């Protein structure tokens, strides 16, 4: 019985995370994102790591994927799950030239 429970948990965990959602890490350094264009699937998670020596504030105002990850100190990381399909412009609200495009597919 105990083995079955563990197997079921693993199956649900695999079904809800491993099989459908992925995580992608983006670095911020020199006031630049490590990637300018990425493509992910709906439900995937993007993690932004601040490898700079100044604070950043990642935001998106793209319809369906609006978010504001707040002030991010050097060394900190923040994640966001993208829930809508479409093109998302991600930028730093403090340094608006820091910009990248995320294409979210179904």
Residue numbers at the binding site for another protein (CB under 8 A) = 30-32, 54-55, 57, 68, 70-71, 89, 93-97, 101
Decide whether 24 or 95 has the Cβ nearer to another protein: 95
Closest distance to another protein from the beta carbon of 27 (Å): 14
Decide whether 57 or 77 has the Cβ nearer to another protein: 57
Helix (H) / strand (E) containing 91: strand 86-92
Tell me the CA distances in angstroms from 100 to 15, 34, 58, 87, one per residue in order.
30, 9, 11, 10
Decide whether 25 or 68 has the Cβ nearer to another protein: 68
Nearest one of 20, 21, 26, 16 to 102, comparing CA atoms: 26
Closest distance to another protein from the beta carbon of 41 (Å): 22
**Alpha carbons 63 and 73: distance in angstroms, whole number:** 27
Closest distance to another protein from the beta carbon of 93 (Å): 6
């Amino acid at each position: 019985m105990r083995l079955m429970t563990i197997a079921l948990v693993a199956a649900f965990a695999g079904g809800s995370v491993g099989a459908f959602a992925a995580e992608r890490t983006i670095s911020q350094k020199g006031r630049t994102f490590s990637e300018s264009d990425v493509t992910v699937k709906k439900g995937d998670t993007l993690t932004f790591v601040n490898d700079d020596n100044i604070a950043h504030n990642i935001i998106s105002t793209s319809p369906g994927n609006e978010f504001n990850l707040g002030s991010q100190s050097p060394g900190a990381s923040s994640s966001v799950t993208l829930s809508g399909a479409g093109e998302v412009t991600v930028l730093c609200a403090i340094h608006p030239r820091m910009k990248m495009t995320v294409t979210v597919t179904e």
